[in-house]
Every structure is written in C-alpha cells, then in structure tokens.
Structure 1
Amino acid sequence: MLILLLFAFVAGVVTVLSPCILPLLPVILSSSDGSGKQRPTGVIVGFIASFTFFTLFLSTIVQLSGIPSSALRSLSVVILALFGISLLIPKVQALIEQLFSRFANLMPSGQKRQGFWGGIVIGLSLGLLWTPCVGPILASVISLAITGTVTAQSFLITLSYAVGTAIPLFLIMLAGSTALQRVPWLVRNTSLIQKLFGVLMIMTAAAILFNVDRSFQTFILNTFPQYGAGLTKIEDNQQVQNALQTTTQQKKETDMKPTVLNTLALPKGPAAPDLVPGGEWFNSEPLTLADLKGKVVLVDFWTYSCINCQRTLPYLKTWWEKYHDKGLVIIGVHSPEFEFEKDPKNVAKALADFGITYPVVQDNDFATWKAYRNQYWPAKYLVDAEGFIRYSHFGEGQYDKTEETIQTLLEEAGMSAGSEPIDNPSYSTSARTPETYLGYARIENLVSREQIKQDALQTFTAPARIPDSQFAYVGDWMLTSEYAAPAPNAELLMQFDAKEVYLVARPKTTSGTIQVFLDGQASSLGDDVEDGVVAVDSDRLYKLIKLPSAGKHQLRLVFPEDSVELYAFTFG
C-alpha cells in the first residue's frame, strides 16, 4: 500500500510535465492575483478535494441522479468564466467579494481570507474539468470507481495523486503572485495584468466549453508524438504491478474460491478465474476452465454492437478454424454495454450474422468480467493448459503477437500447431471524433441552447454552428438515460472527422427508417444504406458512412416517423 501511495504521489508531481496539464495552466496563472498565498492555497485545496471526489464518485452520481457529466462540466466552465469577468469588471468583482466575505467573516482572519474562498471555488471547478494522463495506478482506481467499488485504499491513492499534482501547481501560482508583488513593472501595471488574466480565464472557459482544449491537446500530441512519453513508465515496475493486483482485488458475488487470484507469485502468472455460471450458452454446452484443463483457452470479452469488437471477429474466427482441432478453445464472454444486448435472441442473431461458431456465454451481470477485473471491450486472455493466464491484450491490434502466443502455448501443451503461417492483415482504426453516446446519462459534445428534459418530449432548435466532433438535436426528441428517440421529422446533425461512421440503433416496433445526408447530399456510402435510407430492422450497429479516406464532414440524419431509438455513434 505504501508503495502505491508513494508512486501515485510521484506520478502526480511529474504530471506537470505532461501535455494533459496544458488546459489547466491559463487558469493556474490567472489565479496568481498578487495577494500572497491566500488564493493559491484555496485553489489547491479545492482542486485536491474536487479531483479526489469526482474521480471516485462521478460515475455513481450520474447513475443515481441522472444528471449528465457534461452538465457538471458546463457548470464549472460558467464558474471560471464568471471569475474571468470579475477580473475585467470591478462591479462584478465587488459582488463576488461581498459573497465570499460572508464566508470569510466566519474565519478568524476575516477579510484576509476572501481570496482563499474564491480560490476554493476555482479549485473545485478545476478538479472536475481536468482529465489527467492516466497511468496504471490511477487507471486501476478509476476502473474500480466505474463498477462502484470504492475503498479506503483507492481513496488514499487518488488523494496522493491529487496532492502530488497540486504541489507544482501551487509553486507556479506562488511564483506568479510573488512576482506581482516584487517586480516593479508588474507592480505598476497590476490593473492591466489583472484584466489580461481575466481575458485569459474567459478564453480558457470558452475553449473548454467548445472542447478546444481537447483538440489542442490532440494537436500537441500529433505534432510532438514524444511529448510526455514515458512519464507514466515510473509506474511500470513489478512492485507497483503486484501492489495493484492486491489493491484492485474485488469481492466476488459468486461461489468462486476467494484465493483464485492470489497466485501472482507463480512463475507462469495468475491462475485464471473460472467462468461464472448462470449465463446462457451458444454453440456449446456450458463449459468451465476445469473441464478444459489440458487445452489452451482464449477468453474474449466483447459485445455485439461494439465496432472495435466486430473488427476483431475475423481474426478470432480464423484462429478458431486453424487451431480448434489442435487444442485451442475460444470462449466469447458477451458482456453487454446496452440493455437490448442482454436479450439472448439478439445475441443469437448477432452470432448468426457474424458467422461465429465458437462457444459464447452471456455475462449480463458482469460476473465473469469482474472476476477477471476486466476494463475493456474487446479484451483477450490466453489461458495455458495448466489454467494460468499467460497473455492478455486490450483493444484492437497485436494480432500476430496473439497468434504467436497461441502457437507457443499449444507447443508447450504437447499439441503441435503445425506449420500454420502467421499472416494477419493490419489496418489503422484511428478516428479523431470519439465515441458519442446519445442518452443523457453519458451524453457529451451536445450543442444545444435548451436544457435537457429527462424522459420527456422536448423541442431542440438548430444551432448557428456545430464545432468539430460535436452534434445537435433538431426538432422534437425524447432523451432517456440510455437512448434518444426522435419524433417525426426530427433531425440529428454532427460534425465528424473519420473515415467510417456507425450508429447503434433499434426499432421501436418491427422496423424504422433513417434518411442519411453527407455534406448536404443524400448518401448511400454505408453498407446498411440503400438509396439514402437505412432500414432499422433489429437491435444492432448500422454502418452509415464509409469514405475512401478520413476527413471532416457533416452528417445529417432525418427521421420521417417515430420509429427508432438511437444509442451511440462510433467512428473508424
């Protein structure tokens, strides 16, 4: 535990050198008001409290309250903008100081602590807005938080990381404040500098509101690929990894032996958790890893509407054909992202559509997912003939390496893999527009003048402009926590930067239609689009756009009738 606290603290300190800190710097510099340590101290206290709290509990807050995380982000942006305005307009500053003086008067130092309370509010906003460059330690804590498992250990680790990050930020603010007090030219021009800081803070708030901060960070990383590379490598050592395995050990809600994962000291790696019984099986009778001792087993976590998962299926099917009669067993663990993916009829249809013949088991309650402490779709775990996890890979790619490991484990088990050549095709799956969810629980990047009314029909007006990688509802829509349902003649507009566009959707009854327009023209470029129209006939992922190369375009979807539910866009 002490090892993780120490490395989390150090990881936080070195974060100041990473590209992820760039969006914070303008606000940090603007918080150097020349009044000494009061405001910088407040900013840091607020930042530590906010970052720690929201890292651990934001997912739970969104699920319980239904308030989308984007609404909390927007509130923080408004607070930053308000402080920027106060630096420009003395009357606004006087009103804010009057507000905080009520809190300050409760403190022994009275008026001297007004700057502290203002800093607290700024720090609280920053803690919610900031997205750090996540290394293995913080990633493990976040994955536990998403599944609702928050412990005293995860709290202390997050707190250590926040404190480590806060120290260099505090020194930056303190240096700025000292300079404003001691450098003659700065002292003479305090009013001008204060106004410049106000403009800087307002510009930063606007940049965050329109996701320019993220675009800028992406630009920096694309222009300087090595900038910040290696800063998280301090966490990549065996001591940290072993400590993480212990910290992220989850309580099992099954009758599995509690010591299943406590074998990390074994030279071959951890013993593979068995498949938790209870889910429906396809293409096979129920299997257990105990039954498969002597075989090499590939456990693949996936869900059928996930485009990243779909792109791994051809490789899995090829390996099944090449090696299943030589000792390889592939088991697809179907862990659903959306409610409709829990329906066994939908899963069976997807297996038929994709031509999957290897065994698949439903994991609707994420029991096996949790047993493996998995965090990703897709994820592959290779289990050797003795039942130990020897290799894992998350996401797409590394297909040659995975197949090489399959052959090695088959040879170890005395089952010749033959002279099968390894020749897996490779391709780029990068897209600048991120996955976009359309229900209010996880909605982001929505451009709208109207506040979202949860689970109620409302009218959206078209914005004058839609920034890159953002979208807008137009007309009458009903937003639920998981999906968006358009009324007749409603529209959806999106600016995307990608080669391919996919939409997870389902019909309300038996079928529905969507009209597709690309850059103002009817489009039939997607595999599921015919004469500019998508026929939504089942619960699945629909291929809307497939271009020769990636680029920036506008997508317009028109819904002639009240007949479909929309869940998420993905891009490639």
Structure 2
Amino acid sequence: MEKDTNRKLFGSIALGLFILITISVLYLFAMSKNTVDLAFAYVAGISMIVLPCTLPLAFIIVPFSMGKGYKKGFFMALLFGLGLSITIALYGLFIAIAGNIIGLDEAASQAGTVSKILFMVGGAAALLFGLSELNILKLKLPSFARTPQFIEKRKDYAKAFFLGLFLGNAGVGCPNPLFYILLGDIAVKGSALFGGWMGFVHGLGRATPLIFLSILGIMGINATSSILKHQRKVKKVIGWSLVILGAVIFIMGGAHEWYEETIVHEGWNKFVKSTGLPAELMKEAHEHEGPKDFIPHETAPWFLLLLIVIPIVWNYYKKKNRGDANG
C-alpha cells in the first residue's frame, strides 16, 4: 500500500518536472527579449542537460540514487542538485566581483549593445562546439579523471551533496551559449549578490532534469540505459541541436528585432495569451530604444539559413571524404 502511494506521489512529481522542462524548452526558443533575468538563468540551466559536460552527470546520480528506496533516493538527488547549485552560485559570485574590480559595470549604460554581443558570442560558441560533437571540428573539453577520496569515503547523503559540489565544476567550460550570456551579464553588473543568486538559480535549472531522471530511475525506469544504447545517435542529436540553437541565438543577438517578428516568437505570445498569464510575461508590444541590430533585417533570414546549411554541407563532404578514404 505504501509502495503504491509512493509510486503515485513520485510519478506526480516526475510529471510536474517534465511539464516544467517542456515549458522551459518552449521559453528557450521563444524568448521575447534578450534580457537576462531569473527565468533566463533557470532555463539556461535546464538546457545544459543535452550537453556533453552535463549529460554524463545523469550516469552518476541516477544509478547512485537507485535501489535506495523512494524517499532516500529522492533526497540524495536533491542534495546532489543543491551541491551543484552552490558551486555555480560561487562561480557567479566570483565573476561578479571580478567584473566589478575590472570596471565592467561602467558598461551598464551600453547594456543593450553588450547583451547583443554576448548573444552573438554565445551563439558562435554553440556552433563551434556543435561542429565538434559532429566530428566536423576537433575541440577538447576539460574533464575530471576521478572523484576525490574525501568524497568517496562519505556516507550516502553527504556523498551525494559533495559529489554535486565537485561535479558542478564540470559544466563551467560547457558549450552552452546561454551560460556564457549569463556569466557576461553577471560580470557587467558587478554585483556579488546578483551573481551568486543568478548562479544558484542556474544551478537549480541544471539539477532539474537530473532529479527528473533520478526519480524515473527510482521508479524502475532507467532512461540512462537507453541513452547509452543509442550513444552515437544521441551525440548527433546534441551536435545538430547545438548548431541550430547556436544559429538562432546568434541571430537573436545580431538581428533581434527581426527575430521577434518571426512565427516562433509570435507563436509563443499566442500560447502565453491562451494560458491567461499576466500581460507582463507576454511582452507582445515593447519598444526598442537600445542600439540598432548588427545584421540588417532583409539579410537576417538568409544569414540564419547559411549558419545552418553550411554545417550540413560541410558534414556531407566530410563523410563523403571519409568514405572515399576507407574505400
């Protein structure tokens, strides 16, 4: 009886997290403006799960929390997420302090330009790392060889927490353009409190999909085994997702006003309107008083198309050349 009750409870939690993740993905592709706020920080964290420096964390916390019972496994996953969030919060705090010392806060008056440049840099980074995942380019990401003995010797709850603290470092050099944008904004604002809080919320976003996968594992649905089985396909999906996401975010920075006129943004506005959420969430009609776009509106769609088509053609010829060499 208790087992059935727990299964229903955790099934409901898993469903709630899945809905939250789905809404976050929709928000990610239909952001109404390039302003960094708490929602942006959280969604940027959720988006990390598809990347090669965050997805492997699922292969650590999911098996670790399985077989421990519903409550213990769940709290272990939560502690892992808390540790991860604290580490990212510390990075946010130190980056804000560094930005303040350097004097980046003086650029606040040009925040519109800074924000757009950060979007373009982040998008370009995602494109490069996407090409790396597809083996079109060769880029090496930092990794950790082993877990410190201090953590290995801890009991379950402490071990989960300290693993989160330690492995929170793994995603700092991750190819996520949104993370770079977040860090850049934190550095520009130069507020330690703002940086730490935004970093913590971002960490919660990173932890959400990991907790979701852990709950599924605790319930006997080990999604990570399916990911391992189809590792090559998953890598391709991640690579092309980064290429497309990078292209879109690059355009969001370079031609943001044009992007807001597209069907993606308009579709999001209609969706929000249908939910009856407060009008301030919609941002349907807002003025652009900041700097003009870097990319002219008439060339923006062609630029976006080129950013996606060039990697496709490049990948085709790389595969063809490898085939000819093997033949």
- TM-score after normalising by structure 1: 0.26
Structure showing greater relative contact order (alpha-carbon pairs closer than 8 Å, 6 or more residues apart):
2
Larger radius of gyration: 1
The structure carrying a bigger helix percent of its residues is 2
The structure carrying a bigger strand percent of its residues is 1
